[in-house]
């Protein structure tokens, strides 16, 4: 499992900043400013090994790519979701092996690939977008990640064309999610989770207003702020530059609301208990 084979993906790292996501191919090579990396020197070795560029002999580390590496290095035509936001989506929707998930819009397919990885082997991600450019880029990324069996990417306007039933989760990342709420609520099974990602508070307010009512419960919005910590002798501190804002994530669970049969009814009068027999006992 840990041996690198022809056509496998690797993350090649020179240092924290210089890293490349590559597909190794027998007989081919990759040129860097530090020299040439020959894939034949990598194929057959274990992930986690080091190799040396030719002719300069600079050390490069070879890792098995993580989902976060795929996301940050994949081709994109739109803004994509950051790995930490994807992590929260997985935790708060409960998406896992076997889950049936709808996503709109697909964008560059960054979240699509993460979702695809987690619903494997018997779940499915149905992803829709209205931009041909996004669909093409996303299909390309899904193919590179070998997820075609568990992901379908199709043209579709979530507000008009799409229809599904009994889904475990619906994930929205589009400009007007509040317009989609009315449509997608019927796609979810009871207790299924709707998640919406939006970069602005105005979008969040409209989305939460659309969710409020009898069909959703446990509506929560979160923002994640990630700070990298630089560890140095006597100078350990957060980095001075950071991504200050990605977006807000709103979650809501689908419910079947049932009228309270006790509402409006007077409680029955409490039954009086005759304690006269106990009076002798009490005297004792």
Ligand X SMILES: C[S@@+](CC[C@H](N)C(=O)[O-])C[C@H]1O[C@@H](n2cnc3c(N)ncnc32)[C@H](O)[C@@H]1O
Which spans of this chain sit near ligand X (rule: CB under 6 A)? 78-81, 104-105, 107-111, 128-131, 134, 157-159, 173-175
If the CB atoms of residues 11 and 158 are measured against ligand X, the closer one turns out to be: 158
Q: Using N-to-C axis directions, what is the helix angle for 83-93 and 110-119, rounded to 10°?
A: 40
Both tokens assigned to 130:
């209205």
If the CB atoms of residues 13 and 72 are measured against ligand X, the closer one turns out to be: 72
If the CB atoms of residues 43 and 102 are measured against ligand X, the closer one turns out to be: 102
Q: For strand 100-104 and strand 124-129, is the pairing parallel, antiparallel, or unpaired?
A: parallel
Neighbours of 128 (CB within 10 A): 21
Minimum Å distance from CB 123 to ligand X? 18
H or E element that contains 197: strand 188-198
If the CB atoms of residues 13 and 130 are measured against ligand X, the closer one turns out to be: 130
List the helix and strand counts (H, then E) for the chain. Answer: 7, 15
CA atoms within 13 A on the CB side of 88: 20
φ, ψ of residue 140 to 5 degrees: the values are: -60, -45
- Tell the burial category of 70 from Cβ atoms under 10 Å away from its Cβ (0-12, 13-18, 19+): buried
Minimum Å distance from CB 145 to ligand X? 13
Minimum Å distance from CB 228 to ligand X? 21
If the CB atoms of residues 53 and 99 are measured against ligand X, the closer one turns out to be: 99
- Nearest Cα neighbor of 75 from 134, 16, 163 is 134
DSSP percent split of the chain into helix, strand, coil, nearest 5 = 25, 30, 45
> With left for phi above 0 and alpha for psi between -120 and 50, is residue 168 left, alpha or beta?
alpha
If the CB atoms of residues 60 and 113 are measured against ligand X, the closer one turns out to be: 113
If the CB atoms of residues 79 and 191 are measured against ligand X, the closer one turns out to be: 79
């Amino acid at each position: 499992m840990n041996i690198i084979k022809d056509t496998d993906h690797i993350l090649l790292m020179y240092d924290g900043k210089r890293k490349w996501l590559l597909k190794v191919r027998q007989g081919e090579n990759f040129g860097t400013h530090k020299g040439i990396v020959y894939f034949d020197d990598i194929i057959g070795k274990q992930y986690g090994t080091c190799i040396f560029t030719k002719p300069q002999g600079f050390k490069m580390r070879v890792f098995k790519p993580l989902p976060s590496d795929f996301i940050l290095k994949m081709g994109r035509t739109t803004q994509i979701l950051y790995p930490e936001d994807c992590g929260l989506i997985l935790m708060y929707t409960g998406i896992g092996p076997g889950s049936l998930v709808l996503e709109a819009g697909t964008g560059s397919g960054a979240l699509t690939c993460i979702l695809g990885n987690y619903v494997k082997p018997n779940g499915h991600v149905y992803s829709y977008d209205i931009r041909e450019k996004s669909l093409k880029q996303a299909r390309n990324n899904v193919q590179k990640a070998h997820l075609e069996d568990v992901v379908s990417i199709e043209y579709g306007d979530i507000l008009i064309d799409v229809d599904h039933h009994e889904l475990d989760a619906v994930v929205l990342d589009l400009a007007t999610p509040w317009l989609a709420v009315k449509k997608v609520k019927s796609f979810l099974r009871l207790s299924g989770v709707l998640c919406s990602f939006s970069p602005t508070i105005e979008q969040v307010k409209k989305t939460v207003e659309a969710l409020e009512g009898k069909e959703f419960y446990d509506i929560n919005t979160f923002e994640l702020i990630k700070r990298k910590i630089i560890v140095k002798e006597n100078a350990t501190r957060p980095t001075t530059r950071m991504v200050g804002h990605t977006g807000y994530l709103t979650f809501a669970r689908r419910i079947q609301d049932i009228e309270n049969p006790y509402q409006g009814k007077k409680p029955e009068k409490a039954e009086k208990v005759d304690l006269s027999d106990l009076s002798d006992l009490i005297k004792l």
